[in-house]
Amino acid sequence: MSSPKFIALADYHEYDSDEMNRRAASFYEQMRRRRTVRQFSNRPVPREIIEQCILAASTAPSGANLQPWHFVVITDPSAKRQIRVAAEEEEKEFYYKRAPKEWLEALTPLGTDEHKPFLEIAPYLIAIFEERYGRLATGEPVKHYYPKESVGIATGLLITAIQEVGLVSLTHTPSPMKFLNEILGRPSNESPFLLLVVGYPAEGAMVPDIKRKRLEEVCTFV
């Protein structure tokens, strides 16, 4: 067993209380403007921006620091087309056969359906994979701890980074998503976690008129 090695916490920065207040309010202002968007423009976005956002996402804490995530950035029109076809097939099953009435009712305010044109229109699809276990160079499996929680946190950071740079995203979860492994050639230790659609909103994009819960509804101090 290797022994731990420590270095100084050199990058930590403390703010005075005024500055802390200002930053908290300004970050909340920025985040409350985030909306899930389903109407995308095909306007290109420089690859470097997406790379930086993924670097930000991969600063997420993870179980035993094993960083059990893999991001596949899809720009190839033929891969996008295949993903759209496979996703729409699953969604058709979902909306017309699999989804219980209760679920469809819960989705009514969002106005979603089985058509997913944004999967071909948006400049980037980011398929986020959860490595359920890792692999050594020798092929030997490595146990991962809390992979789902870790990938969930990384995905949250990615969505936040995308908001920060002025782009919009859609968390899309066609279910099941196993087709992503086939289309993208990912190994069997990776499970698709989420498909994030990223780009600029279409001109005149509309979003559902829905509300967020108040602080008192989501938070209790004891």
Instruction: List interacting residues with ligand IYR (CB under 6 A).
Output: 91, 94, 107, 110, 112, 172-174
Cβ neighbors of 216 (< 8 A, separation 6 or more) are none
Name the residue nearer to ligand IYR (CB basis): 210 or 222: 210
For residue 83, how far is the Cα from the chain centroid?
A: 16
Name the residue nearer to ligand IYR (CB basis): 123 or 174: 174
Name the residue nearer to ligand IYR (CB basis): 112 or 189: 112
CB of 177 to ligand IYR, least distance (A): 10
Tell me how long the chain is.
Answer: 222
- Residue the block writes with tokens 């420590």: 6
CB of 102 to ligand IYR, least distance (A): 12
Backbone angles phi, psi at 31, to 5 degrees: -75, -30
Name the residue nearer to ligand IYR (CB basis): 109 or 187: 109
Backbone angles phi, psi at 220, to 5 degrees: -130, 130
Name the residue nearer to ligand IYR (CB basis): 67 or 126: 126
- Residue the block writes with tokens 């996402």: 57
CB of 143 to ligand IYR, least distance (A): 30
Is the distance from CB of 171 to CB of 198 less than 8 angstroms?
A: no
Q: Which residue is nearest to ligand IYR (CB)?
A: 112
Q: Where are the alpha helices (DSSP H) in the chain?
A: 17-32, 47-57, 77-93, 101-107, 118-121, 147-164, 179-184, 215-218
Four-CA torsion 147, 80, 175, 198, nearest 10 degrees: 60
CB of 100 to ligand IYR, least distance (A): 12
Name the residue nearer to ligand IYR (CB basis): 62 or 170: 170
CB of 123 to ligand IYR, least distance (A): 19
CB of 94 to ligand IYR, least distance (A): 6
- Residue the block writes with tokens 């989501």: 218
